[in-house]
Amino acid sequence: MVYTIVVHMRAKPGADNIAKLHAKLNEASAIYSKDKETISWFVMQSVHDPQDFTVVERYENEGSQKYHLGNPYWKTFDPFVVPLLEKPMDLRRFEELVPKEGEEALLKQ
């Protein structure tokens, strides 16, 4: 089952903070996307507020995180990113939905 982490980040005000976070997230995506058992590592910026960023990390399974956390780059990420943030990262963990037997019946009326 695909294991997904969604991280919301809000940069501190200021073009420099936003630009630095933007650059670091693009760098991180290029690096982490190559990790073993990583399906994808997407970074996004809000179309409504340039301070708001989201990262969507998709792994083959929950255990796949060990490759991500074992990547030497991981130790450089938080020290660079955290000082640029207005508030702590909002990190949420999910398993992607797969069809369950009999659920089609729930949609019939």
Sheet holding 38-45, edge to edge: 38-45, 52-59, 3-10, 90-95
Per-position pLDDT tens, the chain of length 109 = 899 999 999 999 999 999 999 999 999 999 999 999 999 999 999 999 999 999 999 999 999 999 999 999 999 999 999 999 999 999 999 999 988 999 998 988 7
pLDDT of residue 83: 98
**H-run or E-run covering 30:** helix 15-32
Angle between helices 74-81 and 15-32 (to 10 degrees): 170
pTM surpassing 0.85?
Answer: yes
Residue 13 DSSP SS3: coil
Is 51:11 a contact under the CB 8 Å cutoff? Answer: yes
pLDDT of residue 57: 97
